[in-house]
């Protein structure tokens, strides 16, 4: 008796998987022919054509041929105060105006060129406050950078000032050394003399060496009548 012949089914080829693989290969190779314009980058694996064109920075439009005016963008740091923006093909140039400098993100005002001046002659440390008077107070002084000029002197004194000088009751002087390196800001204490106590009141300030002169970030003093004194030389 003959034995029965076993017939095994032949495993067929998965045509659908094969086609998907071929499509992926075609998409991957779609950018080889460089189908995008010169101002665009080809990215494979998109759309029925297997690629898409993405405009490089500075260009827009259907064929990426339209230049973007970066100077007209709201979020452009170069359009803020103190800067001049010039549009170029595919980019832009940013230059800072006079008395401004580039800080890496935008144009910033140069403190050494943007300050107010204190020039009153009666602010000088040698000026004696009139008898029966407490003089004036710097409580009107808005916070900001100041430079002593003219009859007021060229800087703040760094030695104690006698009471009732600088046309005020409590004269202010700088406690601490002046910065010797240009464009360096330091924190210093301003002391105000009252009677025999040459630092009865104090205020923390910032000062900066601008090369040939100093500027001070001042504001309202801690008490009236008090005032920031000026001098030419420390005596």
Measured distance CA(59)–CA(91) in Å, rounded: 9
More confident residue, 106 or 162: 162
Phi, psi of 128 (to 5 degrees): -90, 130
More confident residue, 229 or 109: 229
Whether 235 maps to a domain, the answer reads no
Q: What is the mean pLDDT of the chain?
A: 86
Q: Are residues 120 and 221 in the same domain?
A: yes
| Mean pLDDT in residue range 135-163 | 96
Q: Are residues 104 and 144 in the same domain?
A: no
pLDDT of residue 11: 54
- 108-119 pLDDT per residue, tens: 888 999 999 999
User: Quick check: 53 and 60 in contact, CB under 8 A?
Assistant: no
Per-residue DSSP letters for 78-137? Answer: GGSTTEEEEEETTEEEEEEPTTEEE-SSSEEE-GGGS-EEE--GGGBTTPBPPTT--B--
Strand pairing class (91-96; 83-88) = antiparallel
- 167-189 pLDDT per residue, tens: 999 999 999 999 999 988 999 99
Q: What is the pTM of this model?
A: 0.63
Q: Are residues 220 and 145 in the same domain?
A: yes
Tokens of 10: 């032949």
Domain range enclosing 165: 116-228
User: Quick check: 85 and 78 in contact, CB under 8 A?
Assistant: yes
Whether 9 maps to a domain, the answer reads no
**Please, which residues have CB within 8 angstroms of residue 71's CB and are 6 or more apart in sequence?**
78, 79, 85, 86, 87, 92
Measured distance CA(133)–CA(148) in Å, rounded: 24
**Confidence band of 20 (pLDDT split at 50, 70, 90):** low
Q: Are residues 87 and 58 in the same domain?
A: no
pLDDT of residue 104: 77
Q: Which range, 130-134, 146-150, 230-234, is most confident?
A: 146-150
């Amino acid at each position: 008796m003959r034995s029965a012949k076993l017939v095994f089914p032949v495993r067929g080829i998965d045509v659908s998987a094969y086609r998907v693989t071929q499509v992926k290969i075609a998409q991957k190779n779609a950018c080889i022919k460089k189908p995008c314009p010169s101002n665009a980058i080809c990215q494979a694996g998109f759309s029925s054509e297997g690629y898409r064109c993405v405009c490089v920075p500075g260009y827009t439009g259907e064929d990426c041929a339209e230049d973007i005016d970066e100077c007209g963008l709201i979020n452009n740091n170069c359009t803020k105060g103190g800067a001049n923006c010039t549009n170029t093909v595919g980019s832009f140039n940013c230059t800072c105006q006079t008395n401004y400098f580039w800080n890496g993100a935008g144009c910033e005002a140069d403190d050494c060129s943007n300050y107010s001046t204190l020039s009153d002659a009666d602010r000088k440390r040698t000026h004696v406050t009139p008898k029966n008077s407490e003089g004036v107070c710097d409580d009107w002084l808005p916070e900001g950078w100041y430079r002593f000029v003219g009859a007021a002197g060229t800087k703040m004194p760094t030695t104690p000032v006698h009471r009732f000088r600088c046309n005020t009751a409590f004269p202010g002087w700088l406690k601490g050394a002046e910065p010797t390196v240009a464009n360096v800001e330091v924190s210093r204490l301003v002391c105000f003399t009252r009677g025999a106590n040459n630092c009865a009141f104090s205020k923390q300030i910032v000062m900066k060496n601008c090369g040939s002169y100093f500027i001070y970030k001042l504001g309202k003093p801690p008490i009236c009548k008090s005032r920031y004194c000026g001098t030419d030389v420390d005596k």
